[in-house]
């Protein structure tokens, strides 16, 4: 039996640099979303106008993802990421330091467009690097994103605690993150060039047709996962305080717990995929997440509710990375690496679809029915993943360096 080949230095450097890029994005996004009330106060955005601002960011991010799908037909995803990540950081700084509501709107629009391109190109690189490794590593990148989110949220808490202005909070952070983003971008590896005999600087590849209907099951899973995620981020504090009678201070805990358990689930998720396969991990994640929603809906008190949100973090943590991996694998096996990039970009749009639908859906159901009942809707949507679980399995086609045994290589 031939011993598995060890990934070369270029792949290892590419893996570390991409993990740092995910970390940066997690921190930047958390710094924005956790300080929305401060942005509203600074620019005098009314409660009626705020939802327009909040909806515009994911809508424009979807546009950015569509543009990236076309752009990577001519330019390597790594080059796109090198450009847009500093732009995202600078847009964050602008959102906290410009002088008027109109200028803030421009900054948030730039943030939305560039973050869509960033999310798409970042996951393209993750999927291709995983393919070059020949084993599951994509969850690790998303774990770095979760860690960045925890760091960003902690910095935002410190800024609020010390009553720092947005400019004073964002300025030093961006001054560190922009040079770091430019530095790590030097070692990105596009489409596993080092492992597959290609070149990072070569042509992007032939353009091939990719039927959207064939990706539809994975698109639905992506949207449903983000409906669940947005339910936690937007409603966990209100639910604990208004429905379960917790204190205002305790109501801030569930989302932090959710972020930590998401990090933990992703940190060990790759090991689970290698040992049991992607289908088993996705099924387990869907069942655990649905169980978490059920516990939240039936919780008699705040601590039981927090236990439910803890389960949600573990369950939802694996769904999004594995959906990207499955879409990339499916497209690559049929049409090659260019099609894999296109599949990731299209799938990324449903990230924002789920984000846009989730919070208003739960709010409307909570007002019209009950918030306990509303929690059963994302539970049911997450369970739909079980119907499509086979879409996450690897076929007989082999690729990569052969680091992994055939029965466990469910990779992107």
For residue 198, pLDDT over 70 is answered with no
Question: What pLDDT is attached to residue 48?
Answer: 87
Q: What is the mean pLDDT of residues 231-236?
A: 90
Res 193: pLDDT: 46
CATH homologous superfamily for the domain 209-394? MFS general substrate transporter like domains (1.20.1250.20)
Give the pLDDT confidence score for residue 207 in this predicted structure.
54
pLDDT band for 133, please (50, 70, 90 cuts).
very high
pLDDT > 80? residue 116: yes
Give every CB contact of residue 262 below 8 A, 6+ residues apart in sequence: 146, 313, 314, 316, 317
- What ranges do the domains of the chain cover? 1-192, 209-394
At 350 the three-state DSSP class reads helix
Q: Quickly list H helices, 299-375.
A: 302-316, 319-335, 337-368, 371-374
Which range, of 17-21, 98-102, 144-148, 398-402, averages the lowest pLDDT?
398-402
Q: Which of 22, 120, 17 is nearest to 67 (CA)?
A: 120
The torsion region of residue 3 among left (phi > 0), alpha (psi -120 to 50) and beta comes to: beta
Position 121 pLDDT exceeds 60 = yes
Residue 250 pLDDT: 85
Mean pLDDT of the chain: 88
Report which of 263, 240, 230, 246 is spatially closest to residue 22, judged by C-alpha positions: 263
Which CATH architecture best describes the domain 1-192?
Answer: Up-down Bundle (1.20)
**192: confidence class by pLDDT, cuts 50, 70, 90:** very low
Residues 4, 344: Cα–Cα separation, whole Å: 28
Q: Decide: 178 and 89 in contact? Cβ < 8 Å.
A: yes
Mean pLDDT for 287-306 is 96
Q: How many CA atoms lie within 13 A of 118 on its CB side?
A: 30
What whole-number percentage of the chain has pLDDT above 70?
89
Provide the pLDDT confidence category of residue 206 given band limits of 50, 70 and 90. low
């Amino acid at each position: 039996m031939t011993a598995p080949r060890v990934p070369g230095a270029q792949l290892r450097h590419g893996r570390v640099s991409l993990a740092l890029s995910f970390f940066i994005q997690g921190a930047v996004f958390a710094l924005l979303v956790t300080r929305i009330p401060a942005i509203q106060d600074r620019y005098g955005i009314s409660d009626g106008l705020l939802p327009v601002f909040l909806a515009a960011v994911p809508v424009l991010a979807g546009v950015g993802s569509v543009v990236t799908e076309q752009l990577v037909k001519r330019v390597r995803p790594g080059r796109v990421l090198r450009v847009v990540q500093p732009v995202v950081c600078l847009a964050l700084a602008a959102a906290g330091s410009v002088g008027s509501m109109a200028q803030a709107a421009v900054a948030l629009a730039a943030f939305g467009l560039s973050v869509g391109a960033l999310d798409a190109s970042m996951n393209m690189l993750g999927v291709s690097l995983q393919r070059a490794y020949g084993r599951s590593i994509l969850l690790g990148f998303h774990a770095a994103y979760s860690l960045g989110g925890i760091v960003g949220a902690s910095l935002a808490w410190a800024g609020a605690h010390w009553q720092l202005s947005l400019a004073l909070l964002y300025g030093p952070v961006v001054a560190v993150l922009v040079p770091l983003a430019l530095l790590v971008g030097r070692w990105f590896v596009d489409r596993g060039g080092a492992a597959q005999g290609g070149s990072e600087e070569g042509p992007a590849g032939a353009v091939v047709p990719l039927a959207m209907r064939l990706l539809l099951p994975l698109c639905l899973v992506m949207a449903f996962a983000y409906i669940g995620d947005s339910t936690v981020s937007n409603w966990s504090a209100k639910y604990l305080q208004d429905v379960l009678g917790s204190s205002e201070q305790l109501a801030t805990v569930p989302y932090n717990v959710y972020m930590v358990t998401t990090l933990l689930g992703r940190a060990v998720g790759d090991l689970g995929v290698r040992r049991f396969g992607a289908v088993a991990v996705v099924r387990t994640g869907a069942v655990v997440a649905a169980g978490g929603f059920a516990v939240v809906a039936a919780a008699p008190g705040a601590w039981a509710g927090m236990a439910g949100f803890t389960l949600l973090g573990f369950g939802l943590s694996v769904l999004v990375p594995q959906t990207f991996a499955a879409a990339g694998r499916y497209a690559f096996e049929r049409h090659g690496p260019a099609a894999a990039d296109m599949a990731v970009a299209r799938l990324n749009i449903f990230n924002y679809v789920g984000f846009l639908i989730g919070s208003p859906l739960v709010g409307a159901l909570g007002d019209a029915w009950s918030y306990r009942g509303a929690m059963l809707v994302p539970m049911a949507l997450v369970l739909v993943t079980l119907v499509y679980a086979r879409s996450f399995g690897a076929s007989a086609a082999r690729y990569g360096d052969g680091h992994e045994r055939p029965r466990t290589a469910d990779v992107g």
